[in-house]
Structure 1
Amino acid sequence: MAIQASIETRDMDKIAEKTGNVYESIVVISKRARQIAVNVKEELNSKLAEFASTVDNLEEIFENREQIEISKFYERLPKSTNVAIEEFVEDKVSYRHREAEENKLEL
C-alpha cells in the first residue's frame, strides 16, 4: 500500500460519491481513522511495555537504542487519517446505517 505521509489534495466529489453525502463520508473516514489510531497505539504500547523498568536508571534510559528505533518507526508511519481515506476511496471500508437497522427492528 503506497500511502503518502504528507498532505495531499483530495477530490471531495470522489469521496462524497461513496455515500452520496460528503459529511457522511467524512464521518465514516473519521471513525475508521480512530480505529486505526487505537490499534497502532495499542501495538506501540505493547512493544514499549517490554522495555518497562521498575527502576529508573538514567544509564538505562540513554542506552536503550532499540526502544528509540521502535518509536521512530511508529513516528514514520502514515497518519491514520491518510490510511482511512485511502481505504475508503479504494472500497476497503464497510459501513452501515444504524438508524436503518433500528427501524427494521421496530417494524
Structure 2
Amino acid sequence: MIKKPNVNSSIVTHDTDKLAAPTGNLYESVVVISKRARQISVNLKEELNGKLAEFATTVDNLEEVFENREQIEISKFYERMPKPTILATDEFVNEEIMYRRVEDTEG
C-alpha cells in the first residue's frame, strides 16, 4: 500500500529556473515529471482497483451499495491524496527521481 506522503496537496508555485537546473532545460524537466506522474498514477490506480475488487459482488443490490462503509472510506482516502503531478514534482525538486537522457546514436 502506498502511504499518504507528507506532501502539501495544494498547488505550490515553483521557480522555473530551479526546475530547469537539473536537466538544463525546463521542457526536459517537465517531461521527466510527467513520466513519473504517469507511473505514480498507474500504480495508485492498480492499488485502488485491487482493494475495490475485494468488494465486488455478482449481485447488484442497491441496498448493499449504500451500506459498504469500508469501501467508501478507501475511496475517500485515495481522493484526498495529493495528485500524481504534485507527488512527481515534489520528488523531482527533492532529487528523488532517477532519469537518463537517451542520446541520438546517429553517426
TM-score by length of 2: 0.91
Structure 2 letter corresponding to 1:71: S
Matches for 1:1-107 after TM superposition, within 5 Å = 1-98=5-102, 100=103, 103=105
Larger proportion of helix: 1
* Distance in 1 separating the partners of 2:7 and 2:18: 17
| Unaligned runs of at least 5 residues, structure 2 | none
Residue 96 of structure 1, CA deviation: 1.0
Residue-pair matches, total: 103
* Distance in 2 separating the partners of 1:82 and 1:7: 8
Residue 2 of structure 1, CA deviation: 2.5
* Distance in 1 separating the partners of 2:32 and 2:70: 36
Residue 59 of structure 1, CA deviation: 1.1
Q: Percent of aligned positions with the same letter in both sequences?
A: 66
Runs of 4+ in structure 1 off by over 2 angstroms are none
Residue 97 of structure 1, CA deviation: 1.5
| Unaligned runs of at least 5 residues, structure 1 | none
Residues 19-76 of structure 1: CA distance to partner in whole angstroms, max 9, x if unpaired?
0000000000000000000000000000000000101011110100000000000001
Structure 1 letter corresponding to 2:90: E
TM-score by length of 1: 0.91
